[in-house]
Structure 1
Amino acid sequence: MVGAVVVLVAASAYVGRRLLDEGVDIFLGWPPLLAEWLPHVGPGTPGALVVAVAVVVWGPQVADRLRWRPLLWLAWGTAFVWTMALALVDGWQRGIVERLTSSQEYLHDVPRVTALGGIGPMLRVFSDHILTTAVDPGQTWFWTTHVGGHPAGAFLLFAALDRIGLGSGGAVGVVVMVVGSSAAAAVAVTVRALGHEDLARRVLPFSVLLPGAVWVGVSADGLFAGWLAWGVALLAVATVRRGLASTAAATGAGLVLGYALYLSYGLVLGALLPLAVVVATRRWWVVGPALVGVLVVVAGFTAAGFWWFTGYADVKVIYAASIAASRPYAYFVWANLAAAAFALGPAAVAALRRAPALPRAALLLVGAATAAILLADLSGMSKAEVERIWLPFVVWAVLACGTLPHPRRWLLAQALLALAVNHLLLTVW
């Protein structure tokens, strides 16, 4: 499996370079990744090496023996330090502060919220400024690429962070990494709630050393991954509770999952994950309160003036007129999978072959994540940059790593890939 994916990556690099040489602007400096070749070290290098060695040497043993709650906090903290250290390989300014403050990112447009009169007025006119002048010459101004390319909920989060004094590039970057790295704990909570604590413990070290952490620090998609993961975890918890506790957890899950729909249009495919939880447990009664939670979020955004389907229709228009127009579907429909392999790592790639050996509930989650990736790929709405865009699904595919023998060897492979990517390439996120 790993050998086959290495060939796929090599082929995508070769064909991508040929396309560039032929004048096809695929907007990738180092196909299949959005990156450029730039070997370097930075202040995060020592920390990343220490975390990698610690998790490889002691991770499986600690995950097996430590009490559950301390283990979750330790895993979350270690995942955060790993993500932060990888980001700091590029330095504090370039690796963290500047990631979400560029002219195409969320923080660039935050001052417009005040200019529009606040968050309420901003939501009312959000859809009016998605189309660019390239498709609507009468447009007076339009949102930057990432603001307009996502539902209003994503920008609302960053505007809210600014309101509470966390609007700088550094502060937002840290918040994104804290939430993104929490996906490791959320996935473990989900699997334990489904009755497989032993599997959750085996998977935790792999979730911590996820190569996708390169893009969790710092891209908004890392935050989306953590957000969606906790929504699924809450629903799983609801299936093992009874009475009011179950209803409260399911409703909370619905609120979190409903808001996820307003973080990224592609997270509609994330609905496959909570569906897998319900199918695995057959606790159908949690669907009702969960749907109530989702509808509350939908009703709130709609009443505020943002209609999801209008936003999505406009995004399809600007996507067709963007750099996606010169990115050939025939190349990216398979090169995307090579890019995603960098986020998954060799362990997850190898483990997918062993996925049928997983317990039924875990297998359904891995299947849901894989299906979401394949559907996103075939849709043509994800041409390149999927090493970050698909992070909300990648964190669940890692569950398959619980079936691997010799976990330390595979953890070492995961760490080496992440270290190589961040030290040999300069990624945009």
Structure 2
Amino acid sequence: MLIALSFAVGGLLHHLGILRIDHLPPLHAHFRVPTFRLLPAAVFGLAAAWMLPGALARLRFGRAIALGYGTALAWTVLLAVSGDGLAAPFTHKEEYLAVLPAVGDDPSGWLAGFTEHLPGYPTHVRGHPPLPVLVVWALQALGLPGPLWAALLVVLVGCSAAVAITLTVRRLGGEDAARRALPYLALTPASVWIATSMDAFFAGVGAWGVALLVLGRKRWSRLLSGAGAGVLLGSLPYLSYGLVPYLLIPVVVAVMVRPSRLTVAAILAGAGSVTAAFAAGGFFWPDGVLATHAQWAADPGAARPYLYFLFANIAVLALVTGPAATAGLVGPIPARVRTVVAATLVAVAALDVSGVTRGEVERIWVPFAVWVSVAGGFAGGRAGGHAGDRRWLAAQVVTGLLLQGLVASPW
């Protein structure tokens, strides 16, 4: 009902000229007619929905994770190539690669002048901190230039969020819960935007940052994992300003697993090293926030109606996570796993209420959507069995196919 109402009201607002930059509100997209090119993704997705529950239940856990990751990659890539192609979004003039000529061979000099020169940069660069540009610059410096390599990095890292979250769920709720969540992470409708928006890279970085909090059994491995978690989680605010509420997820996980004081110190040291590195390079995060907010306030997106998107953004989250995730929210989720999903929803609500995410959230929600997708594993209840999973997974796949086939998105 919320989704239908959001599209109905959005269509009316577009007709009245109130929503001029969104042609298929609440999505920032155009309507398109699906073609036969979607057929391979449809065949693969429905076959995976049928076979995955049984296969993941039988395999050893390590092999199950490998199968889940492989499925996520295949599903994501097949969706992308059915449309404009895997690399197409990164060829847009408003994307991060467009600013690489300005970076040149002097990334430190570019970083120091980032805030000052922000008004002259492409839209996505103006709306984010400098780290995404430095990531694609590093790819170029390694001899992997161009949109295709950037797209491959994003998809590989974005799909790996399924692995990281599965490992976290196993620590918090047990192996059975992890096995139940894995197919829903692999076949999430969010895969439509995992290929290919930079937010998928953010999702992978954040998911592994959380996973490293719960990995490591011996003292030194826990310290190394903690330091790694600190670096990854400390990088999130430098990847996207909108990921600050995301940090509620690792805080909640840390409270539940209770790392030692030394591990906490390693986490804080890792996060602090990121902040120190950017400060040494001449970029101060509060200055970046203020500069980006000024650019956002002058953008047409800031004029979108707040009240409409307050509710419509949640409808988009329901689309991105799929019907199984919504149904699973009231399912028998283990208590600690439920707490993490609830923390994710609180983070989403905080970002939504802030008003800075008025539309275009189909990509912005991706780092959060992968955590909400965990709930899909519990949509059929404990007695649902493989047959119940197959039905719910098929619903997830059909949702993804409809989004890919009917929605022409700029990312």
Instruction: Name which of 105, 117, 125 aligns with 1:147.
Output: 125
Q: How does 1:294-309 map onto structure 2 within 5 Å?
A: 294-309=271-286
- Correspondences of 1:120-269 after superposition (within 5 Å): 120-130=108-118, 132=119, 142-194=120-172, 196-238=174-216, 241-269=217-245
Q: Deviations over 1:182-207 (max 9, x none)?
A: 11111001112335111000111100
Separation in 2 of the partners of 1:42 and 1:304? 50
Q: Does 1:106 align with 2:96?
A: yes
**2:389: which partner in 1?**
407
**Which is worse superposed, 33-42 or 390-399?**
33-42
Q: Is the 8 A contact 1:301 1:307 kept in 2?
A: yes
Q: Give the alignment's Cα RMSD to 1 decimal.
A: 1.4
1:30 pairs with 2:24: yes
Deviation at residue 394 of structure 1 after TM alignment: 0.8
User: SS at 1:363's partner residue?
Assistant: helix
5+ residue gaps in structure 2?
381-387
Contact 1:369 1:396 in 2 (8 A): yes
Q: In 1, are the aligned partners of 2:344 and 2:368 still within 8 Å (CA)?
A: yes
What code does the residue aligned with 1:236 have? Answer: V
SS in 2 for 1:193: helix
Moved over 6 A (4+): none
CA shift for structure 1 position 71: 1.6
Matches within 5 A, 1:257-296: 257-285=233-261, 286-296=263-273
1:342-390: CA deviation from partner (whole Å, max 9, x where unpaired): 1110000111122xx3222201210111111111100001011111101
Aligned residues of 1:348 and 1:398 also touching (Cα < 8 A)? yes
Deviation of 1:31 after TM superposition, in Å, equals: 1.3
Determine if the alignment matches structure 1 residue 119 to structure 2 residue 124: no
Pairwise CA distance, 1:48: 1.1
Contact persistence 1:332–1:383 (CA under 8 A): yes
Which sections of structure 1, spanning at least 5 residues, go unmatched?
A: 1-6, 133-141
The residue type equivalent to 1:261 in the other structure is P
Indicate the residue corresponding to 1:73 in structure 2: 66
Q: Which amino acid aligns with 1:102?
A: H
Write the distance in 1 (CA, Å) between the matches of 2:88 and 2:395.
30
Counterpart AA for 1:255: V
8 Å CA contact retained: 1:42, 1:88: no
Q: Deviations over 1:298-351 (max 9, x none)?
A: 100110111111001111111111022320101111111111111110000111
TM-score where L is the length of structure 1:
0.91
Kindly indicate whether the alpha-carbon contact (under 8 Å) linking 1:187 and 1:396 is maintained by their aligned counterparts in 2.
yes
